[in-house]
Structure 1
């Protein structure tokens, strides 16, 4: 939506990716003239590594899944200018460079042409049914619902599947969002193989406002606490 707004103002927006520890740029999106893919799709991805940057995607066991079709993994990087450690925290620095690669805590996939596509933060990805499901992807689908003003997805512990997605949503005035409507919208994408069959949320919790951090980001820690309280309340009631 941000790129469409920029285009309406005559601006060509191009995405990139990096973090404070990488000082900061690692990748930039690029749409080549011979590329048959839609420019608006390619330009919103994180893009390809800039010179001297090596990028891999590592799964939970540390295996490189960069070349695996639809393989999701944590982005790990090497470059000459990266942060080597943290002041007064040798342990955090050791974790940052586990296995000789800088760990970004971001989960992504890689297109055949080499483009990096960010999926989620490692702490927010939902591990369910033996797969990683992006909470951000479910949130994006939820926000296409005209009844939903804001959305956030967190993983709820599940004895059988490990975790299951739960959707917190802020309804637009006078509207009542439906979990079934969201599932119906996701169904064709699951059938087409564009979305994991594990991605449909199990629960929809309506909330007046999403909790946010001091910098305006959705505070999923508080949502997880709220989810835990709901579970305890339901157990007490039963």
Structure 2
């Protein structure tokens, strides 16, 4: 016999009843806002009543165009638990992508932060937004806006009762939606069912996942508009832990202040965020004594970053996932039988993407469709399947055929697996550099370059070469105190890379830039650099 349907509703129910006084803290444009779980639950039910009253029913999508804060978290639980679908939209996407996403998803209600009104108004198109029947500005008063019909959030929920009779939902009911960033074409929609989000939450709570406990204070810096902030609003609530939301466009000073003032024990975000925080701490000092671990994902965490935080008493936990996976796939915990390794060997394990999370299966497939051995050398494309991994894209049969093989998601990541089962991403299939019949990992080169004291950020791309097919070119952002010119720096980089890699891996050119371009989710955007330097002879006459 089967059990009761696996849905999100019991997570909020449990948090309210077992931990009613636990806090949900937000940094907002109106200041710091504090609610208890009891108050959070009441406000969520008020929102549920309001959404239902404007016509949101089974399958209707409630879109958010928002940063990380308590009101956004209330939508996380209200929209899916009334039978609707939470649809988080990335506000950093180009206007034409936002238009495509809203029209493709047919959103019924759209909630927007006050600070994001301008980009949403710029993206507004009457035809693309025809499905939207109500705009709600996430504030306590209504600012001037051209959107209509529109109201502010507090007025939207204020007149409604805090009692709400949640419907009993089937676990296969769509509960969430997020679109990929669309760097290689139109964004692709990924739907999450109640069961997928429930399963992902339970896996996240395990020690082999993120190991969240009720004593934790969790600050998701990873945006709530991107893959549900890696599921942290759900898993933090399920654990009964304290939420801390950093609000609109937090800078390193904001993040450090919240860590100090709220006693944050765990936080999460992309490497560039933590490089910025580290630089702030080194220049200004900070009390990070409460902080136990940082979950880093989105792109590879440089080993040098892991070491520097370790010196501060903070563990960096490397994780990997995808929008298609809700997103958690691997976490680089150190296995018990490896605790006797030297510090350097442990750092090397931590710098990999890690061990598969319980509940998922994977295989690594070469160009001939054969599985590669777990030896840390042979590589292939990573395929994954499991209860929180999607098996199709929303309204995109063309993409389905290319990216799925039965129940398997073909991730597009080229990886190796070592003898201990640690997965390491060598590159994205589209970014790996093929030189003289051999492969060069741009990711490994980037991590090595960013370990240099004179490098703030670095990315590596393959440039066409008449003899070798492709050669690596490094784009680096020097630190403020770097004094070498480009020629001296190139020589220095050659020697530095040669410490760990063969000569033919050494970049043929080193270009100084002011900033590495980023995608809408904070990842390095190599496509921009390829386009910008397409007409330049980066390799000279070589």
TM-score normalized with structure 2 length: 0.39
Task: Determine the C-alpha separation between the residues in 2 that align with 1:209 and 1:81.
Answer: 36
Task: Determine the C-alpha separation between the residues in 1 that align with 2:395 and 2:350.
Answer: 39
Once the two structures are overlaid, the 10-residue window that deviates more, 37-46 or 125-134, is 37-46
Structure 1 contact 129–198 (Cα < 8 Å) conserved: no
Task: Determine the C-alpha separation between the residues in 1 that align with 2:386 and 2:462.
Answer: 33
Residues 216 and 175 of structure 1: CA distance in aligned 2, closer, same or farther (over 3 Å): farther
Matched, 1:222 2:528: yes
Work out which of the two has the higher radius of gyration on C-alpha atoms and give 1 or 2: 2
Structure 1 contact 17–25 (Cα < 8 Å) conserved: yes
Over the aligned positions, Cα root-mean-square deviation in angstroms equals 2.6
Structure 1 contact 147–176 (Cα < 8 Å) conserved: no
Task: Determine the C-alpha separation between the residues in 2 that align with 1:206 and 1:13.
Answer: 29
Task: Determine the C-alpha separation between the residues in 2 that align with 1:50 and 1:213.
Answer: 27
Residues 132-157 of structure 1, C-alpha deviation per residue, up to 9 Å, x if partnerless? 21112112222233333321110011
Once the two structures are overlaid, the 10-residue window that deviates more, 140-149 or 160-169, is 140-149
Moved over 4 A (4+): none
Residues 162 and 60 of structure 1: CA distance in aligned 2, closer, same or farther (over 3 Å): farther
Offset of residue 2 of structure 1: 4.0
Partner of 2:455: 148
Offset of residue 6 of structure 1: 4.1
Partner of 1:127: 434
Task: Determine the C-alpha separation between the residues in 2 that align with 1:104 and 1:196.
Answer: 28
Structure 2 contact 382–412 (Cα < 8 Å) conserved: yes
Partner of 2:384: 77
Matched, 1:94 2:401: yes
Structure 1 contact 56–66 (Cα < 8 Å) conserved: no
State the number of aligned residues.
229
SS at match of 1:224: helix
Residues 133 and 17 of structure 1: CA distance in aligned 2, closer, same or farther (over 3 Å): same
Structure 1 contact 133–196 (Cα < 8 Å) conserved: no
Q: Please, which runs of 5 or more residues in structure 1 have no aligned partner? A: 190-194
Partner of 2:327: 24
Q: Please, which runs of 5 or more residues in structure 2 have no aligned partner? A: 1-303
Offset of residue 197 of structure 1: 4.5
Residues 143-193 of structure 1, C-alpha deviation per residue, up to 9 Å, x if partnerless? 23333332111001123222110111223344324222211222242xxxx
Task: Determine the C-alpha separation between the residues in 2 that align with 1:215 and 1:23.
Answer: 15
Instruction: Give matches, 1:1-238, under 5 Å.
Output: 1-35=304-338, 36-37=340-341, 38-67=345-374, 69-98=376-405, 101-173=408-480, 174-177=483-486, 178-189=489-500, 195-231=501-537
